[in-house]
Structure 1
């Protein structure tokens, strides 16, 4: 099987076809769910990578993880391939999700080593799995606020999780995987806090001791490069192509994760982004611009807040009843929610879990999500995005993003303000401020109440390269104010 060539669809024709999704009303079907009538998916360059990714990716949760009794998840995966989708998501925390992919891959001839193996089809897709193991080798110490977990019974570290993914996706599910099996990317799953980041960077920021403990990143680098610096890759296998991380909750921690990468290890970020983002400590004006500036491939998720926009309480899904199996609803159509995520600057693709597919394209989540994702990065105006925010805020009074840090935890102003004297001048430096409802425009440096100068804000990609301002002026009080595009000020005082 190959991913079929589709015809391109215009924005006008898309609106006609997807009117039901917009209005939350029924519409005449397109004559059965014939994928030959579905457009070629729109694609975007995936960050710095030589890969054009479809704007819609298949999420590894929903019915692939919490499978209802009357749903077979394998046809969902097969249909995604048939529709031309080329980004596929799963995780070692998603129950049988990886095993369901294996069943589909058997049918698609994607198992390396078999005579029927379709290497070209395998090269045409991007397959990502995840590990929530923060350590790179077994025998690690317990650390406060550092959680390590996997669904694998014998998993002791991130390397074990990668091999678990490979055996479940391409092998026998019991440890064996065929030669030539690989993952396009492994994400450090659901990053929570700085304590976890400290562990992840052990062996990079600290001397690497193969006989001691080290974090997941240096071990994953061995699996990417075919090296054995850690002792965890004795066969010098190349099992993964890229390394990244995911996060739902903590924009400052996610920024810290990116800024501490002095080695160019990180290639991708999976981030929660939906129309209620700005009701929280938002991602769109904080971590997403930093990831974009670093060249990461950026994958959006939680467009429907894990179904909390619809039928489910604002909590993590935990059973098949939590899986949403309709296409939007009359008061909150799905299309604008998808469009909002995909017109957030920096986002390249959006993964959505599928509850069910249907022969009627108006009832088929996969087909309707595909149509809704046919939008350019600048396909909505600021006013249109604001209207979608207002619509989404009606869902549970805007309290849908249970997974995301609240505004009450917002830390304002430039951080870690310092002063040095160099060549007779005062040199002030600081770490990036965090944005509120609007993006930061610039910084003002005030000495004894007078503006000494301004510095344009741009995403800070490395902690070792802070914002800097030099002046020959001096005074008793120095303030640095971060000013957003509407003029709001957040300032810090040099102490």
Structure 2
């Protein structure tokens, strides 16, 4: 496993990291989830990402329990705050009240004394940015949080937060967690250039386009039984990717991957990691074998000819 700096901070994270969205605490049984986390740790993954809202806190409990057997300093634990955790008017967003209360609740569920990376799960237009940043800075000062980040913020929002932090002496954002894959490249236009300039690392999610870039979905064929697209609770997240055009492109990319001697998923992950501004790619896994395969993408360098062949497919 190779490791990269998270932005311009001193924190080093594994190029491949493990997430728990749509899996741990809900669709994947607890014992299987723990086996996946154990396998990830064994293979050198040191960055584990979750969020308070995943299965309404149950994901944090599973992740915390699985990691408890390992030395706390040996892994980087990330969670998030923003989405509703109750029905009350203050049970959501990035107000000081919600941030502080949810940080304390996450610490309890995870069973740890501090969170390595605490992330704003989305931007909150209803709360002054200064209030949000000051609350996060207070958590850092208290030692409950070591670093702060955001997820799916625009370049303008990230830039505003950095300037406000510099102006008021708040702890600076070191990471952004956006969606990024071969079929969703929006961050390349403005988010990546800004963040590379400002030292904000990208921890990208959905690197395999919700499973489209694993090769399991074929043009003109029904979705496989047991796949995410066949799950009534999860299919909404992948359906937007399953267009005939995308399926055809995925089939062409699978041929390119085979000629390069690797599975499509590893080609897709290596393609993401070609970006110097990307610190880590978050994979999801329902079986330890998936992790064993995906970690092989770490350290893979794609040749210029291979990158050109990929671009020709994606731009067609």
Q: TM-score, normalised by structure 2?
A: 0.74
Query: Greater relative contact order: 1 or 2 (C-alpha under 8 angstroms, separation 6 or more)?
Result: 2
The answer for the alignment partner of 1:283 in structure 2 is 187
The answer as to 2:9 corresponding to 1:59 is no
Which residue in 2 is equivalent to 1:218? Answer: 134
| Deviation for aligned residue 1:252 | 4.4
Which residue of structure 2 lines up, in the alignment, with residue 440 of structure 1? none
The residue that corresponds to 2:76 in the other structure is 126
1:199 aligns with 2:127: yes
- Measure the CA separation in 1 of the matches of 2:275 and 2:191: 12
Match of 1:369 in 2: 294
1:319 counterpart (215, 230, 233): 233
C-alpha RMSD over aligned residues: 3.5
- Counterpart position of 2:269: 338
Contact 2:116 2:147 in 1 (8 A): yes
Q: State the structure with more CA Rg.
A: 1
State how many pairs are aligned.
Answer: 275
Secondary structure of 1:307's partner? Answer: helix
Tell me the equivalent position of 2:92.
Answer: 148
| Corresponding residue for residue 44 of structure 1 | 4
The one of 142, 150, 161 aligned to 1:245: 150
Match of 1:163 in 2: 104
1:352, distance to aligned residue in structure 2 (A) = 0.9
Q: What is aligned with 1:388?
A: 310
CA 254–47 in structure 1, closer or farther in 2 if over 3 Å, else same: closer
Q: Aligned-pair distance for 1:298?
A: 2.4
When normalised by structure 1's length, the TM-score is 0.49
Question: How far did residue 161 of structure 1 move?
Answer: 1.2
Deviation per residue, 1:308-356 (Å, 9 max, x gap): 55658999x97367899xxxx8664111110111112311111111121
Relative to structure 1, is the Cα distance of residues 253 and 385 closer, same or farther in structure 2, using a 3 angstrom cutoff? farther
Is the alpha carbon distance of 1:253 and 1:223 closer, same or farther for their aligned partners in structure 2, counting shifts above 3 Å? closer
Alpha-carbon distance in 1 for matches of 2:193, 2:79: 24
Which structure has the highest helix share of the two? 2
Shift of 1:128: 0.6
Cα deviation, residue 183, structure 1: 0.3
Gaps of 5+ in 1: 1-40, 110-120, 141-146, 171-177, 205-214, 227-237, 358-363, 395-495
Q: Distance in 1 between matches of 2:175 and 2:145?
A: 13
Per the TM alignment, residue 123 of structure 1 is displaced from its structure 2 partner at its CA by 1.4
| Alignment counterpart, residue 303 of structure 1, candidates 176, 200, 207 | 207
Separation of aligned partners in 2, 1:197 and 1:320: 28
Give the whole-Å Cα distance in 2 for the aligned partners of 1:70 and 1:125: 20
What's the CA shift for 1:189?
0.3
Asked if 1 retains the 8 angstrom alpha-carbon contact of 2:117 and 2:148, the reply is: yes
Instruction: Give the counterpart of 1:182 among 110, 114, 126.
Output: 114
- Measured after TM superposition, the shift of residue 367 of structure 1 is 0.9
